[in-house]
Amino acid sequence: MTYETHSEKETHELAARFAATLRGGELIELVGDLGSGKTTFVRGVAEALGCKVKVKSPTFTVMNEYPVDNDKIKKIVHADFYRFEDPAHLEALALGDYSDDDTVIFVEWPDIFGEGILTPTHTINFEFVDEITRKIEL
């Protein structure tokens, strides 16, 4: 399904609906240009799952971990491969270690070091339409 949102708030609302479908153990790829709303979407999911901290782009850290207060899901991992300087970071990251039943992983720019590095359970596509409009394909 492709949705159109017209504000950060609407993207958060869509993210909250998506969050309600999560059971833990998902690996979600976020695909789309810079500014297309990927991080905003993760922030909406985290809020909906009861995270008390505001999700920020993993700029200096390679990835961020957020504890969340939810029956099934205890942790969100948010990685942004665009910020990786070196594919060796991928190994350091050892995403496999996070594939626990109570964790949900989000990865922005999953294909930057080549396709097929990850085995996602979901891929979400983001498209910049205009200043306030984003197309989000779930």
Ligand X SMILES: Nc1ncnc2c1ncn2[C@@H]1O[C@H](COP(=O)(O)OP(=O)(O)O)[C@@H](O)[C@H]1O
Residues that bind ligand X (CB under 6 A): 5-8, 10-11, 32, 34-40, 57, 108, 126, 132-134
Cα–Cα dist 79/93, whole Å: 9
What's the min distance (Å) between Cβ of 72 and ligand X? 25
Query: In the set 11, 39, 70, 103, which binds Mg ion (CB under 5 A)?
Result: 39
Residue 36 binds which entry of Mg ion, ligand X, none, CB below 5-8 Å type-dependent? ligand X
Residue-wise DSSP of 18-54: HHTT--S--EEEEE--TTSSHHHHHHHHHHHTT--S-
Query: Under the criterion CB under 5 A, does residue 5 sit at the interface with Mg ion?
Result: no
Query: In the set 38, 43, 75, 78, which binds Mg ion (CB under 5 A)?
Result: 38
What's the min distance (Å) between Cβ of 60 and ligand X? 15
Q: Are 27 and 105 in contact (CB under 8 A)?
A: yes
Residue 64 binds which entry of ligand X, Mg ion, none, CB below 5-8 Å type-dependent? none
Q: Are 134 and 105 in contact (CB under 8 A)?
A: no
